Amino acid sequence: MTATVRAKRLRSPLFALATVVLFPASLHAHGVHLSAHAHGKSIHGRAFYHGDLPAKNAKITAFDSAEKPVGETRTDQQGKFTLKVPALGNYRLLADTGGGHGAETRIEVGSSSGDRPSGIEKKIVELQRQLEAHERQTRLRDILGGIGYILGVAGIAFYLLGRRRGRSRV
């Protein structure tokens, strides 16, 4: 086997590994999150990516309990949005950031949320945001798991390449 053939066989796995190492942000593009709370007949919320990066200009659509679209808006530069709904009830919100990336959540508009004092509501929303941020936080075990996964895939690839080289020498 010539050096050129060996280089061509290694090119694809090395390119994939280089892509993962050099462009990790693109791998988190699917990590879109949607957070919302109701106040009266308005839904306030934000759409964001992993790492708390705002999902700018994302399309937010509200669907009623019959899955009929009842409202639509876009997020601002901070990923925030406000959407008025026609009536009290349960809604499904869908955030579409383009390219097949999105998130959804369900929210109840009207029950007791409109009766709460605004100070308590703001604290609840802030606590909900902090909890969601904590759940999304990258932890050391996640990093070590990712490194282990990459090394495992690379090990399998090198094992298979080694077996092929052994057969071609016989």
> Which tens digit of pLDDT belongs to each residue from 68-112?
999 999 999 999 999 999 999 999 999 999 888 889 999 988 755
Q: Check residues 1 and 31 and name the one with the higher pLDDT.
A: 31
How does residue 5 score in pLDDT terms, banded at 50, 70 and 90?
low
Residues forming beta bridges with residue 42, ordered by sequence position: 39, 84
How far is the C-alpha of 45 from the C-alpha of 58, rounded, in Å? Answer: 12
pLDDT at 21 over 70: no
How does residue 59 score in pLDDT terms, banded at 50, 70 and 90?
very high
Share of the chain above pLDDT 90, in %: 35
Q: Which pair of structure tokens corresponds to residue 110? A: 């009207």
How does residue 25 score in pLDDT terms, banded at 50, 70 and 90?
very low
**Alpha-carbon torsion (19, 32, 81, 60), positive or negative:** positive
Q: Check residues 38 and 82 and name the one with the higher pLDDT.
A: 82
Residue of 68, 113, 76 whose CA lies nearest to 94 = 68
Q: Are 44 and 119 in contact (CB under 8 A)?
A: no
How far is the C-alpha of 129 from the C-alpha of 39, rounded, in Å? Answer: 16
How far is the C-alpha of 72 from the C-alpha of 3, rounded, in Å? Answer: 58
pLDDT for residue 44:
92
Residue of 35, 44, 39 whose CA lies nearest to 111 = 39
- Phi-psi category of residue 61: left, alpha or beta, with phi > 0 → left and psi -120 to 50 → alpha: beta
Q: Are 168 and 160 in contact (CB under 8 A)?
A: no
